[in-house]
Amino acid sequence: MVARPYVIDEMISAKSIAARIEELCKEIQSEFSETNKLVVVGLLRGSFVFIADLVRELDLPIEVDFLEASSYGDGMESSREVRILKDLRGAIEGRDVLVVEDIVDTGHTLNHVTGLLKSRLPARLKSIALLDKPSQREVDFKADWTGFEIPDEFVVGYGIDFAQRNRNLPFIGKVRFTEPE
């Protein structure tokens, strides 16, 4: 099968992302100012670039852990059924936790993951998403911090893929198909 050709139009520049991360980190630091045990949990794989930039801007004592949940597969539609493919390495009971996600779309993924992590009795559980598509929400979920609200466009770059490609783009772009289906 020949892939349908597409181009990527820049939507959010690398510079805007970096500036927004600086602002977000100030807020996160004041929320967790007295913490001595923050675990920053990245949701694989889409958040790997975001979490890398975020933790380097955060002036707090932290540990990093990862969890992999799947809902999308390689397509462009959410499957709504969230599965845990890789769990945390460490226990979070009694600890402060910040869950880091790339995009909140229907809300099923973060709703499921934060519900699961809350059941492990962390001291505090907060979440941050780089991007939010509020128009797509199917469950009542809002991240504690959001980088940018975006319209219902399929985006790639800055860790986010289209069929595993384009994660290494330094900016967020939207996919535009150049030939009809």
What are the catalytic residues?
A: 105
Nearest approach, Cβ of residue 102 and Mg ion (Å): 5
Query: What is d(CA 124, CA 126) in angstroms, rounded to the nearest whole number?
Result: 7
Binding mask 114-153 for ligand 5GP (x = CB under 6 A): ----------------------------------------
Sheet with 124-132, edge to edge strand ranges = 83-86, 62-70, 38-44, 96-104, 124-132, 145-149
Under the binding rule (CB under 6 A), the answer on residue 70 touching ligand 5GP is: no
**Piece of the chain touching ligand 5GP by CB under 6 A; list 12-20, 24-32, 51-59, 158-166:** 158-166
Nearest approach, Cβ of residue 11 and ligand 5GP (Å): 10
Within the chain, what is the greatest distance between any pair of CA atoms? 55
Q: Virtual CA dihedral for 170, 173, 178, 181, nearest 10 degrees?
A: 120
Which one of residues 155, 158, 169, 172 is an interface residue with ligand 5GP (CB under 6 A)? 155
**Piece of the chain touching ligand 5GP by CB under 6 A; list 8-16, 23-31, 92-100, 104-112:** 104-112
- CB atoms under 10 Å from CB of 63, counted, come to 14
Query: Which among 179, 100, 105 has a CA at the least distance from the CA of 145?
Result: 100
What residues line the site for ligand 5GP (CB under 6 A)? 46, 71-72, 78, 101-109, 154-156, 160-162
